[in-house]
Amino acid sequence: MGRPASGDDLGSPPYILKLDIQKLLASGENPQCTIDTLDEVTAGGAESDCPAVVDTLPAKGGPHWGALDNLQVGDDGYYHETTDVKRLAYANYFVARTGLNGDHRVCMVDVQPDQTLALDEKFRDERTGEACLDFDRASWPHGDWGPAKPHSMLFVTADDDVK
């Protein structure tokens, strides 16, 4: 989310917004929620079945793509699908000719026990030492191929490791 500056428009800072949509889902076929003011966009709707804003995480560069890690290791040592997502990844990239090029990083986010979001400071670029992996580099483990733009992502594991 977020919107870059353009002309007289100062834009808005880039961020990831975590919403609780349980009341909206429970409202069934006839939801009453209408997000029709700017305040409701950033703070949640006024009607009782509107999504609630749980947390907002600043996301330098402007997130473009994300993925939820819906796998977790069970007591049996195998991965199992879960609806209790504990982390996600996002990429800061967009099409350069739009003027929204991002900074070409992939970042990891931890979902805290209180459901707030925190940048995973342990997921660091091995060259810069900074949080997030920077794709603006000349060399990769497979050769000198130059800068890359992260786009689309998945959390994966081998079929034999999933139950």
Q: How far apart are alpha carbons 16 and 85 in whole angstroms? A: 15
The pLDDT > 90 percentage for the chain reads 47
Q: How far apart are alpha carbons 51 and 40 in whole angstroms? A: 10
Question: Mean per-residue pLDDT for 46-75?
Answer: 89
pLDDT band at 2 (very low <50, low <70, confident <90, very high): low
**What integer best gives the mean pLDDT of the chain?**
85
- Evaluate if residue 16 carries a pLDDT over 80: yes
DSSP 62: -
65 — phi, psi (to 5°)?
-140, 145
**Predicted TM-score (pTM) of this structure:** 0.79
- In terms of Cβ atoms closer than 10 Å to its own Cβ (0-12, 13-18, 19+), residue 59 is buried
Q: How far apart are alpha carbons 13 and 16 in whole angstroms? A: 10
